[in-house]
Amino acid sequence: MKAAICTAYGPPEVLKLMTVAQPEPKEFDLLIRVYASAVQSGDRRIRALDVPPAGRLPMRIALGFKAPRKPVLGVVVAGEVAAVGSRVQHFKVGDRVYGLTGMRLGGYAEYACIHAHKCIHLMPLNASFNEAASLPFGGTTALHFLRKAQIEQANSVLIYGASGAVGSAAVQIAKYYNTHVTAVCSDRHAAMVRDFGADEVIDYHMDDYDNQLSTYDAVFDASGKINKLSARKHVERNGQFCSVAGQGVAKELREDLTLLNQMFEAGHFKAVIDRVYPLEEIVEAHRYVDSGRKYGNVIVQVVEE
Protein backbone atom coordinates (compact mmCIF):
# COMPACT_ATOMS: atom_id res chain seq x y z
CA MET A 1 0.00 0.00 0.00
CA LYS A 2 1.00 3.64 -0.40
CA ALA A 3 2.01 5.46 2.77
CA ALA A 4 3.84 8.61 3.82
CA ILE A 5 6.84 7.52 5.89
CA CYS A 6 8.58 9.76 8.42
CA THR A 7 12.21 8.86 7.71
CA ALA A 8 13.77 11.10 10.39
CA TYR A 9 12.91 13.98 12.69
CA GLY A 10 13.01 17.30 10.92
CA PRO A 11 11.31 19.55 8.35
CA PRO A 12 8.41 18.40 6.13
CA GLU A 13 10.85 16.96 3.59
CA VAL A 14 11.58 14.01 5.90
CA LEU A 15 8.18 12.62 4.83
CA LYS A 16 8.56 10.25 1.87
CA LEU A 17 5.86 8.47 -0.11
CA MET A 18 6.65 4.74 -0.18
CA THR A 19 5.08 1.35 -0.74
CA VAL A 20 4.86 -0.66 2.48
CA ALA A 21 3.10 -3.77 3.75
CA GLN A 22 -0.59 -3.44 4.57
CA PRO A 23 -1.27 -3.80 8.32
CA GLU A 24 -2.93 -6.97 9.59
CA PRO A 25 -5.85 -6.51 12.01
CA LYS A 26 -5.61 -8.23 15.38
CA GLU A 27 -8.64 -9.85 17.05
CA PHE A 28 -10.14 -6.57 18.33
CA ASP A 29 -9.01 -4.42 15.39
CA LEU A 30 -10.72 -2.78 12.49
CA LEU A 31 -8.79 -2.55 9.23
CA ILE A 32 -9.84 0.74 7.70
CA ARG A 33 -9.43 1.76 4.09
CA VAL A 34 -8.46 5.37 4.71
CA TYR A 35 -10.11 7.99 2.54
CA ALA A 36 -8.97 11.04 4.52
CA SER A 37 -6.68 12.04 7.35
CA ALA A 38 -5.48 15.43 8.59
CA VAL A 39 -2.32 17.28 9.57
CA GLN A 40 -2.83 17.95 13.27
CA SER A 41 -0.51 19.35 15.92
CA GLY A 42 0.41 15.90 17.23
CA ASP A 43 1.55 14.79 13.76
CA ARG A 44 3.78 17.79 13.14
CA ARG A 45 5.12 17.73 16.71
CA ILE A 46 6.31 14.15 16.24
CA ARG A 47 7.70 14.83 12.78
CA ALA A 48 9.64 17.91 13.89
CA LEU A 49 10.45 16.66 17.43
CA ASP A 50 8.86 19.94 18.42
CA VAL A 51 9.22 19.96 22.19
CA PRO A 52 11.34 22.03 24.59
CA PRO A 53 15.01 20.92 24.67
CA ALA A 54 14.59 19.17 28.01
CA GLY A 55 11.83 17.01 26.54
CA ARG A 56 13.63 15.81 23.42
CA LEU A 57 15.51 12.89 24.97
CA PRO A 58 12.39 11.52 26.72
CA MET A 59 10.47 11.95 23.47
CA ARG A 60 13.14 10.05 21.52
CA ILE A 61 13.07 7.28 24.12
CA ALA A 62 9.28 7.06 23.82
CA LEU A 63 9.00 7.38 20.03
CA GLY A 64 12.35 6.28 18.58
CA PHE A 65 15.83 7.81 18.63
CA LYS A 66 16.58 8.61 14.97
CA ALA A 67 13.04 8.42 13.60
CA PRO A 68 9.60 7.36 14.87
CA ARG A 69 9.29 3.62 15.42
CA LYS A 70 5.82 3.98 13.97
CA PRO A 71 6.85 5.80 10.80
CA VAL A 72 3.38 6.29 9.31
CA LEU A 73 2.08 9.39 11.07
CA GLY A 74 -1.52 10.60 11.11
CA VAL A 75 -3.70 10.52 14.23
CA VAL A 76 -6.96 10.97 12.30
CA VAL A 77 -8.71 8.49 10.03
CA ALA A 78 -11.96 8.60 8.06
CA GLY A 79 -12.79 5.72 5.77
CA GLU A 80 -14.50 2.36 5.30
CA VAL A 81 -14.05 -0.82 7.33
CA ALA A 82 -12.24 -3.26 5.04
CA ALA A 83 -11.91 -6.15 7.53
CA VAL A 84 -12.65 -6.87 11.18
CA GLY A 85 -10.81 -8.93 13.77
CA SER A 86 -12.31 -12.18 15.04
CA ARG A 87 -13.66 -10.62 18.26
CA VAL A 88 -15.08 -7.36 16.86
CA GLN A 89 -18.82 -7.14 17.53
CA HIS A 90 -20.17 -3.66 16.78
CA PHE A 91 -18.65 -2.89 13.37
CA LYS A 92 -18.87 -4.65 10.02
CA VAL A 93 -17.17 -4.51 6.65
CA GLY A 94 -18.41 -1.51 4.68
CA ASP A 95 -19.15 0.73 7.68
CA ARG A 96 -18.13 4.36 7.15
CA VAL A 97 -16.13 5.28 10.25
CA TYR A 98 -13.93 8.03 11.63
CA GLY A 99 -11.83 8.52 14.71
CA LEU A 100 -8.42 8.85 16.34
CA THR A 101 -5.67 6.26 16.20
CA GLY A 102 -3.83 7.45 19.31
CA MET A 103 -0.20 6.41 19.51
CA ARG A 104 -0.74 3.74 16.85
CA LEU A 105 -0.79 6.63 14.33
CA GLY A 106 -1.08 5.30 10.76
CA GLY A 107 -3.50 7.73 9.11
CA TYR A 108 -1.16 8.74 6.26
CA ALA A 109 -1.66 5.47 4.41
CA GLU A 110 -4.19 3.62 2.30
CA TYR A 111 -4.99 1.29 5.22
CA ALA A 112 -4.79 1.65 9.00
CA CYS A 113 -5.72 -0.49 12.00
CA ILE A 114 -7.52 0.78 15.08
CA HIS A 115 -8.82 -1.05 18.16
CA ALA A 116 -12.61 -1.33 17.95
CA HIS A 117 -13.02 -0.21 21.59
CA LYS A 118 -11.02 2.99 21.16
CA CYS A 119 -12.03 6.40 19.79
CA ILE A 120 -13.72 5.16 16.60
CA HIS A 121 -17.34 5.73 15.54
CA LEU A 122 -19.69 5.54 12.59
CA MET A 123 -19.44 8.78 10.62
CA PRO A 124 -22.22 11.38 10.75
CA LEU A 125 -24.79 10.41 8.14
CA ASN A 126 -24.47 13.72 6.29
CA ALA A 127 -20.66 13.99 6.37
CA SER A 128 -18.18 13.42 3.56
CA PHE A 129 -14.91 11.66 4.40
CA ASN A 130 -13.04 14.98 4.29
CA GLU A 131 -15.58 16.57 6.62
CA ALA A 132 -15.43 13.61 9.00
CA ALA A 133 -11.63 13.85 9.12
CA SER A 134 -11.93 17.46 10.28
CA LEU A 135 -14.05 16.60 13.34
CA PRO A 136 -12.39 14.23 15.82
CA PHE A 137 -9.11 15.91 16.80
CA GLY A 138 -10.39 19.45 17.32
CA GLY A 139 -13.75 18.28 18.60
CA THR A 140 -12.54 15.83 21.25
CA THR A 141 -9.74 18.16 22.38
CA ALA A 142 -12.12 21.11 22.74
CA LEU A 143 -14.64 19.00 24.64
CA HIS A 144 -11.98 17.75 27.04
CA PHE A 145 -10.71 21.19 27.99
CA LEU A 146 -14.08 22.95 27.94
CA ARG A 147 -15.33 20.38 30.43
CA LYS A 148 -12.39 21.29 32.66
CA ALA A 149 -13.55 24.90 32.28
CA GLN A 150 -17.07 23.84 33.32
CA ILE A 151 -18.57 25.16 30.10
CA GLU A 152 -22.05 23.84 30.89
CA GLN A 153 -22.26 26.24 33.84
CA ALA A 154 -20.54 29.20 32.15
CA ASN A 155 -22.45 32.20 30.86
CA SER A 156 -19.42 33.64 29.08
CA VAL A 157 -16.19 32.23 27.66
CA LEU A 158 -13.06 33.74 26.13
CA ILE A 159 -11.35 31.55 23.51
CA TYR A 160 -7.81 32.32 22.37
CA GLY A 161 -6.76 30.84 19.03
CA ALA A 162 -10.37 30.61 17.90
CA SER A 163 -9.64 29.97 14.22
CA GLY A 164 -7.52 26.82 14.64
CA ALA A 165 -8.68 23.20 14.59
CA VAL A 166 -9.30 23.16 18.35
CA GLY A 167 -10.41 26.78 18.66
CA SER A 168 -12.99 26.60 15.87
CA ALA A 169 -14.44 23.47 17.48
CA ALA A 170 -14.44 25.17 20.90
CA VAL A 171 -16.43 28.15 19.59
CA GLN A 172 -19.10 25.86 18.17
CA ILE A 173 -19.28 23.65 21.26
CA ALA A 174 -19.53 26.67 23.57
CA LYS A 175 -22.41 28.03 21.47
CA TYR A 176 -24.07 24.62 21.65
CA TYR A 177 -24.14 25.14 25.43
CA ASN A 178 -25.63 28.63 24.97
CA THR A 179 -22.52 30.42 26.17
CA HIS A 180 -21.62 33.97 25.10
CA VAL A 181 -18.36 33.56 23.15
CA THR A 182 -15.60 36.14 22.79
CA ALA A 183 -13.03 34.88 20.30
CA VAL A 184 -9.43 36.02 19.82
CA CYS A 185 -7.89 35.42 16.40
CA SER A 186 -6.38 37.33 13.46
CA ASP A 187 -8.56 39.79 11.59
CA ARG A 188 -8.30 37.78 8.36
CA HIS A 189 -10.26 34.96 10.02
CA ALA A 190 -12.72 37.12 11.95
CA ALA A 191 -15.65 36.78 9.52
CA MET A 192 -15.31 33.00 9.49
CA VAL A 193 -15.18 32.80 13.29
CA ARG A 194 -18.33 34.92 13.52
CA ASP A 195 -19.96 32.66 10.96
CA PHE A 196 -19.64 29.62 13.18
CA GLY A 197 -20.95 31.36 16.25
CA ALA A 198 -18.65 33.81 18.02
CA ASP A 199 -20.54 36.77 19.51
CA GLU A 200 -17.47 39.01 19.60
CA VAL A 201 -14.14 38.71 17.78
CA ILE A 202 -10.96 40.50 18.87
CA ASP A 203 -7.92 40.83 16.56
CA TYR A 204 -4.80 39.87 18.52
CA HIS A 205 -2.62 41.90 16.14
CA MET A 206 -3.99 45.13 17.63
CA ASP A 207 -1.54 46.69 20.08
CA ASP A 208 -4.18 47.15 22.77
CA TYR A 209 -6.26 44.06 22.10
CA ASP A 210 -5.85 42.82 25.68
CA ASN A 211 -7.47 46.01 26.96
CA GLN A 212 -10.59 45.25 24.94
CA LEU A 213 -11.17 42.04 26.86
CA SER A 214 -13.37 41.84 29.95
CA THR A 215 -13.61 39.03 32.51
CA TYR A 216 -15.29 35.72 31.79
CA ASP A 217 -16.61 32.64 33.55
CA ALA A 218 -14.20 30.53 31.50
CA VAL A 219 -11.03 31.28 29.54
CA PHE A 220 -9.69 28.67 27.12
CA ASP A 221 -6.30 28.87 25.43
CA ALA A 222 -6.83 26.72 22.34
CA SER A 223 -3.46 27.58 20.79
CA GLY A 224 -1.00 26.97 23.62
CA LYS A 225 0.94 30.09 22.61
CA ILE A 226 -0.43 32.84 24.84
CA ASN A 227 0.96 34.42 27.99
CA LYS A 228 -0.92 32.50 30.65
CA LEU A 229 -0.41 35.09 33.38
CA SER A 230 -1.97 37.72 31.14
CA ALA A 231 -4.84 35.40 30.19
CA ARG A 232 -5.66 34.46 33.77
CA LYS A 233 -6.48 38.05 34.69
CA HIS A 234 -9.54 37.74 32.44
CA VAL A 235 -11.00 34.91 34.50
CA GLU A 236 -14.00 35.93 36.58
CA ARG A 237 -13.79 35.21 40.30
CA ASN A 238 -14.53 31.49 40.78
CA GLY A 239 -14.14 31.07 37.02
CA GLN A 240 -11.93 28.53 35.25
CA PHE A 241 -8.83 28.79 33.05
CA CYS A 242 -7.63 25.93 30.86
CA SER A 243 -5.02 25.54 28.15
CA VAL A 244 -3.95 22.92 25.63
CA ALA A 245 -0.37 23.58 26.80
CA GLY A 246 0.81 22.37 30.17
CA GLN A 247 -2.46 20.84 31.38
CA GLY A 248 -2.15 17.29 30.14
CA VAL A 249 -3.27 15.45 27.04
CA ALA A 250 -6.91 15.42 26.00
CA LYS A 251 -8.73 12.12 26.53
CA GLU A 252 -9.92 10.39 23.36
CA LEU A 253 -13.45 9.22 24.16
CA ARG A 254 -15.86 7.46 21.83
CA GLU A 255 -18.79 9.15 23.56
CA ASP A 256 -17.38 12.50 22.44
CA LEU A 257 -17.68 11.32 18.84
CA THR A 258 -21.31 10.41 19.58
CA LEU A 259 -21.92 14.01 20.67
CA LEU A 260 -20.08 15.40 17.65
CA ASN A 261 -22.24 13.22 15.40
CA GLN A 262 -25.40 14.57 16.98
CA MET A 263 -24.20 18.15 16.65
CA PHE A 264 -23.06 17.73 13.04
CA GLU A 265 -26.20 15.95 11.90
CA ALA A 266 -28.37 18.64 13.53
CA GLY A 267 -26.39 21.48 11.94
CA HIS A 268 -24.85 22.70 15.21
CA PHE A 269 -21.29 21.84 14.18
CA LYS A 270 -19.60 22.67 10.88
CA ALA A 271 -16.52 21.14 9.33
CA VAL A 272 -13.84 23.85 9.19
CA ILE A 273 -11.46 22.96 6.36
CA ASP A 274 -8.76 25.30 5.10
CA ARG A 275 -7.09 23.18 2.41
CA VAL A 276 -7.18 19.63 1.06
CA TYR A 277 -3.98 17.96 -0.19
CA PRO A 278 -3.66 14.54 -1.82
CA LEU A 279 -1.41 12.08 0.01
CA GLU A 280 1.18 12.60 -2.73
CA GLU A 281 1.53 16.22 -1.52
CA ILE A 282 2.01 15.40 2.17
CA VAL A 283 5.21 17.47 2.29
CA GLU A 284 3.36 20.55 1.00
CA ALA A 285 0.56 19.92 3.52
CA HIS A 286 2.99 19.86 6.44
CA ARG A 287 4.87 22.84 5.03
CA TYR A 288 1.64 24.85 4.95
CA VAL A 289 0.77 23.90 8.54
CA ASP A 290 4.31 24.85 9.63
CA SER A 291 3.79 28.31 8.09
CA GLY A 292 1.29 29.18 10.82
CA ARG A 293 -1.17 30.62 8.32
CA LYS A 294 -3.80 27.91 8.40
CA TYR A 295 -7.26 28.05 9.88
CA GLY A 296 -9.32 25.07 10.95
CA ASN A 297 -8.10 21.80 9.49
CA VAL A 298 -5.73 20.78 6.72
CA ILE A 299 -7.01 17.54 5.22
CA VAL A 300 -4.92 14.80 3.61
CA GLN A 301 -7.08 13.06 1.01
CA VAL A 302 -5.84 9.51 0.52
CA VAL A 303 -8.61 8.35 -1.84
CA GLU A 304 -10.98 10.56 -3.83
CA GLU A 305 -14.63 10.05 -2.93
Q: What is the pLDDT of residues 123-160, one digit of tens each?
A: 999 999 999 999 999 999 999 999 999 999 999 999 99
Q: Are 228 and 123 contained in the same domain?
A: no
Q: What is the CATH number of the domain that holds 115?
A: 3.90.180.10
Note the pLDDT tens digit of each residue in 154-213. 999 999 999 999 999 999 999 999 999 999 999 899 999 999 999 999 998 888 888 889
Q: What would you report as the CA-atom Rg of the chain, rounded to the nearest whole angstrom? A: 19
CATH of the domain at 172: 3.40.50.720
Predicted confidence at residue 232, as pLDDT, reads 87
What per-residue confidence (pLDDT) applies to 114?
A: 96
pLDDT score recorded for residue 42: 86
| 3-state SS assignment for residue 61 | helix
194-223 b/e with 16+ CB inside 10 Å = b? Answer: bebbbebbbebeeeeebeebeebbbbbbbb
Do 39 and 26 share a structural domain? yes
Whether 257 is in a domain gets the answer no
* DSSP assignment letter at 211: G
